[in-house]
Amino acid sequence: MSEIAKKFGIDKALEELGLNKDVNHGTSTGKDFFGNGDIIESYSPVDNALIGKVKSTSKEDYEKVITTATSAFKEWRTMPAPQRGEIVRQFNDELRRLKEPLGKLVSYEMGKSYQEGLGEVQEMIDICDFAVGLSRQLHGLTMHSERPGHRMYEQYHPLGVVGIISAFNFPVAVWAWNTALAWVCGDACIWKGSEKTPITSVACQNIAARVFAENGLPEGLSCLITGDYKVGEMMTNDVRVPLISATGSIRMGKIVAQAVAARLGKSLLELGGNNAIIVTPDANVKNTVIGAVFGAVGTCGQRCTSTRRLIIHEDIYDKVTDAIVAAYKQIKIGNPLDENNHVGPLIDKDAVKNYQTALEQVVKEGGKILVEGGVLEGEGYESGCYVKPAIAEAENHYDIVQHETFGPVLYIMKYKGDLQNALDLQNGVKQGLSSAIMTNNLREAERFLSVEGSDCGIANVNIGTSGAEIGGAFGGEKETGGGRESGSDAWKVYMRRQTNTINYTTELPLAQGIKFDL
């Protein structure tokens, strides 16, 4: 354990989460942990220290997982939904008790600030609260039949085994968004966490497995598999997994979508974003700066909802740009466990290379650097993953601007004239996740939210692009994948809908008035 880890209590956090110093198995059907695959070592981007090791999932391991999960589902689906909600409530109690150590581990293994790590665990708590209430509200509909003496209604049944693939940037929250809802809906879950944050995945599985075991429930309701894309392929190609919920890059999502569609399964995709904030002449500049800076540098620019583009009206372009540049000078970069710092490291050196390439490319395409980037060196930056948040003046049509750079690079551009010109720029990318407008003009705000406005799944007024709440469905359009997670009626994807018609007469009239006499 490194000195930084000891100083900030990571050793104690690991102990509280039931993790040891040796191999924490990365495959589990519940309380039983096993694994026969290769060893994966997890190094912290904070100080490049080894956190722990897990074993990846072999084909034999996976077969045990899917068999156990399928068996557990058959029992779990018969339990009344409010009773399933009670289990989720107990899981939530454990999350509240372990919020601090789990938040620290998220921060240390992923690199986001400790406050953001705590916030991510709070998202888990919030979705569990939502799911507990939902367990008594899995409503269908009643409908009037065209035939006398008939009743029609629709209901929702558990779907089966749900496969969850999550990314490193939210190593616990996205799993919880899916699994809390899937559990109350009556499904069993198999989770492939990111191979970049495997220790955090094992910690969450420890918590879930303990709760299920204490309630005498079968193994397999919460399963964990670990490894690279080959492990994910076992699940995406498996007809025994009717739904795959995948969060990650657009490239990954297209592969998953094709594999699942080939076997006529369901997929829920939440992929990349190229999110913009439009700043009109009627914007509150102070709030714009806060929203844009946090959106661009929060989680070191590694949120799918991170602000990538700032589209500013020419009349206030210089004023807003100067304010943003000045704000960047106040950003403190360093150990994310130290709450004096705003920004931690990128996840690894591959991410650093992508960040550097983006800054080189925008200059080649004609852009101008307004805030210099670069890799930080020296004491406290030994991992080589700390970079400076950068700003570049650019055009929307640049190739590098059209693609998502998963790092703290903000592209600033101006628009002239009517709001429609800004909307054309904002919508002029392949991604459609999150968007925002800063304005005190009611007409502009309503136009932004209208059918002719933002084409994104999330459209905000006078707040930034990141920081979605649990109550609303989360997801985006176009190459973002079209999936919806978390709140609202997102629960329906984890269930199968059934339409029922009951004839309580002594006759058998046919629909549409068809006569068929025997």
Residues with a known catalytic role:
270, 304
DSSP state of 270: E
Cα separation, 271 vs 143, in Å, equals 37
* Residue type present at position 197: T
* Gyration radius of the chain's alpha carbons: 24
Element (H, E) at 495: strand 495-503
The phi and psi torsions of 51 (rounded to 5 degrees) equal -90, -45
DSSP E strand boundaries for 201-327: 222-225, 243-247, 266-270, 275-279, 307-313
Any alpha helices (H) in 33-189, and if so which ranges? Answer: 59-76, 81-97, 99-110, 114-134, 173-185
Task: Give the span between the Cα atoms of 179 and 91, in whole angstroms.
Answer: 11
Closest alpha carbon to 391 in 415, 377, 374, 416: 374
**Opening angle at CA 12, ends 7 and 14, nearest 5:** 115
Q: How many angstroms separate the CA atoms of 503 and 219, rounded?
A: 41
Tell me the two tokens of residue 413.
Answer: 């551009």
Structure tokens at 516: 């068929």
Q: Are 199 and 51 in contact (CB under 8 A)?
A: yes
User: Can you tell me the distance from the alpha carbon of 258 to that of 246, in angstroms, rounded to the nearest whole number?
Assistant: 13
Output the CA–CA distances (angstroms, integers) from residue 425 to 260, 277, 278, 342, in the order listed: 33, 11, 9, 30
Tell me the three state secondary structure of residue 96. helix
The C-alpha atoms of residue 2 and residue 243 are separated, in whole angstroms, by 41
Tokens 């609202």 sit on residue:
488
- In angstroms, the Cα distances linking 160 to 137, 188, 216, 313, 494 are 19, 6, 20, 50, 8
By CB neighbour count within 10 A (0-12 exposed, 13-18 middle, 19+ buried), where does 375 fall?
middle
Report the DSSP pairing between strands 150-158 and 141-143: antiparallel
Paired sense of beta strands 33-34 and 27-28, if any: antiparallel
In the block, tokens 């369901």 appear at 266
Q: Supply the DSSP symbol for 218.
A: P
Distances (CA, A) of 431 to 148, 388, 402, 427, 479: 50, 25, 9, 8, 5
